[in-house]
Every structure is written in structure tokens, then in C-alpha cells.
């Protein structure tokens, strides 16, 4: 038997590129909760919880426009108004919604708010708020720490990787630590909880790794870091009440998406939106503010059929 010819056939089958899908990585972090203020002569304020943290390494992307909403950080409590910290806002991308972090508890409302990660409870035995609210799998956050008896020891806000620490004795709780991720090509930790505030004869809690603001024992709590979802630190006060501090504001959220550049090229796709960088084989779009992530389809995809051999 003798081979007469080899045919290499290429068919333009007319499939639009929008008929295809590919895998993206997506990181979505909510806005951090505000720390609570410390009222004059009263209980120290708890730290704000971190914004909810969700990472999907296998998100299915198609050619369309995706609305991205970046959650703002919650306001810190104020000594002349509402002492309680404010819960941060939700960050959304497609089907992923990461809740804001819970506001820290205060003298007039001792329990920290339940949210992505819970706010810390105030001194005088305030309870920490619950994390992972609403529930996601895997969990988007952790509980805030509890305050203890007395005016000093408040709880730290929960972080995405750890609960906020409880206050005890003259020590307020630290914020729970955040989570490291290398979606941009560099390892960055985000979504740390805010530290609990204290009185000047005690020790305030440190902020959790990942943008959590430190509490203060004399003045205003530290703000959570922008675009990390870090919780704000609780405010402090002097023992004679001559100086009273506000809670720190929570850090705003962030959304990051990454994809293999060559796969998009093969499909004839292009993408716009956010700040665009490259990471080795990947293209990365970072949204520090709300916008639109758009995948645009290219020309009709061509499918190559393997060679066909003809024999005598």
C-alpha cells in the first residue's frame, strides 16, 4: 500500500470568540471597618474588622463587560458623635461579593459589628462581632476579639486569616492578620484587622498584618491602609480625659484580575479597565476604584483539522 497524498485542511468554522471561555484569577477585598472612638471617662473603643477577602484561582471569564464596585472603608467613630465604628462597604466583581469589615464596638454600643470580618468589642466586656457574614466558602473573614472588664482592654478587629485578639488586663487586643497573595507577581498581604484602643495607663493593640490600623492609648486610632481592606484602629484617651481619640477609618477595598496573556491572544480577545501591568506570562488588571473590566471578542476563531493521509 502506497501513500498517495497528505492533505492539511484548515477550516474557518465560524465560531465567534464569545462562544469560548477561559480561566482567570480574581481577588476581591471589601472595605475595612472603622475603629470606635473612646468616650471621655469611659470604655476604650474596639478595632475595626477587615473587609471580606475572597480569591478565586479558577474564575470562568467570557467576552463581556463586568462591573467592578470597590467598597469604601467605614468611618471611624467620633468622640463628639457616634462613638461606634461604621461597617465598610462591599466590593463586587461578577458573582463575587466581599462584604465590608465590621465597625468596632464603643461605650454606647459595646458589641462589634458582624460583617466580612467582625469588629472588636469595646472595653467593659464588649463582645467581638462575627466574621464571614454573609457566609462564603471558603470563609471571607474571622471574628473580632472581645473586650474585658475595666475601661482599658478592648478587642481587636478580625482579619482574613485570624481572629482579632481579646483584650485582657491593661492590654487591648491586636487586629487579626490578613492574607498574602501573589496575583500581581509580588506577595502582598491584605485584609488585616484594626487594633483595639486603650487608655494611657494601658497598651493599645497593634494592627494586623495587611493594612490594619493600630489602636491608640492617647489619641486617634490609625487609619487602615487604602486598597487593602484593613480595619481602622480604636481611639484612646488620657487617664484624666483631657485628650480623647476618634477611631481610625477603614481602608478601601480592591479588585484584581489576572489572566494568561497568550490565551487571550489566541482567542483574539483584548481586555480593558483598571491599572494594567504584566507578571511574567500574565496580564494583571488592578482596580483601586470602581470601574468596568471589559473583555472584547476578536475575529472569528479558526480551528485547524489535523492532516489526512490518503492511501492507494
pLDDT in the model for residue 21: 83
The answer on 311 and 241 residing in a single domain is no
How confident is the model over 94-123, as a mean pLDDT?
A: 96
227 and 311 belong to one structural domain: no
Q: Do 310 and 197 belong together in one domain?
A: no
Q: Are residues 6 and 36 in the same domain?
A: no
Number of domains the chain contains: 2
146 in the same domain as 46: yes
Q: Residue 47 belongs to what domain range?
A: 17-296
| Same domain, residue pair 11 and 139 | no
Alpha helices in 70-165 (DSSP H): none
3-class secondary structure, 51: coil
Euclidean distance between CA atoms 202 and 217, whole angstroms: 7
231-258 b/e (C-beta count within 10 Å ≥ 16 → b): bbbbbbbbeeeebbbbbbbbbbbbbbbb
Tell me which residue has cell 492539511: 8
273 and 308, same domain (yes or no): no
3-class state of residue 59 by DSSP: strand
Residues 30, 12 share a domain: no
Q: What pLDDT, on a 0 to 100 scale, did the predictor assign at position 243?
A: 79
pLDDT tens string 201-255: 999 999 999 999 999 999 999 999 999 999 999 999 887 777 789 999 999 999 9
Is the same domain home to 23 and 36? Answer: yes
Amino acid at each position: 500500500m502506497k501513500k498517495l497524498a497528505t492533505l492539511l485542511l484548515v477550516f474557518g468554522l465560524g465560531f465567534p470568540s464569545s462562544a469560548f471561555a477561559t480561566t482567570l484569577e480574581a481577588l476581591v477585598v471589601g472595605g475595612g471597618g472603622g475603629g470606635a472612638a473612646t468616650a471621655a471617662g469611659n470604655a476604650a473603643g474596639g478595632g475595626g474588622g477587615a473587609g471580606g477577602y475572597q480569591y478565586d484561582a479558577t474564575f470562568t471569564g467570557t467576552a463581556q463587560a463586568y462591573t467592578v464596585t470597590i467598597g469604601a472603608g467605614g468611618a471611624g467613630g467620633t468622640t463628639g458623635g457616634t462613638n461606634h465604628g461604621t461597617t465598610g462597604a462591599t466590593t463586587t466583581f461578577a458573582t463575587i461579593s466581599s462584604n465590608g469589615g465590621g465597625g468596632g464596638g464603643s461605650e454606647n454600643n459595646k458589641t462589634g459589628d458582624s460583617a466580612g470580618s467582625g469588629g472588636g468589642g469595646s472595653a467593659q466586656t464588649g463582645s467581638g462581632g462575627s466574621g464571614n457574614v454573609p457566609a462564603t466558602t471558603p470563609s471571607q473573614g474571622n471574628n473580632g476579639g472581645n473586650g474585658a472588664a475595666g475601661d482599658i482592654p478592648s478587642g481587636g478587629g478580625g482579619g482574613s486569616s485570624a481572629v482579632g485578639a481579646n483584650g485582657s488586663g491593661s492590654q487591648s487586643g491586636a487586629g487579626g492578620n490578613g492574607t498574602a497573595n501573589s496575583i500581581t507577581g509580588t506577595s502582598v498581604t491584605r485584609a488585616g484587622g484594626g487594633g483595639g484602643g486603650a487608655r494611657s495607663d494601658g497598651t493599645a493593640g497593634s494592627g494586623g498584618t495587611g493594612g490594619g490600623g493600630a489602636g491608640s492609648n492617647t489619641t486617634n486610632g490609625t487609619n487602615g491602609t487604602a486598597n487593602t481592606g484593613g480595619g481602622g484602629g480604636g481611639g484612646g484617651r488620657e487617664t484624666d480625659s483631657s485628650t480623647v481619640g476618634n477611631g481610625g477609618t477603614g481602608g478601601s477595598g480592591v479588585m484584581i484580575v489576572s489572566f494568561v496573556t497568550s490565551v487571550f491572544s489566541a482567542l483574539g480577545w483584548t481586555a480593558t479597565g483598571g491599572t494594567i501591568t504584566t507578571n511574567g506570562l500574565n496580564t494583571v488588571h488592578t482596580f483601586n476604584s470602581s470601574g468596568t473590566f471589559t473583555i472584547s471578542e476578536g475575529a472569528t476563531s479558526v480551528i485547524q483539522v489535523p492532516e489526512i493521509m490518503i492511501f492507494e
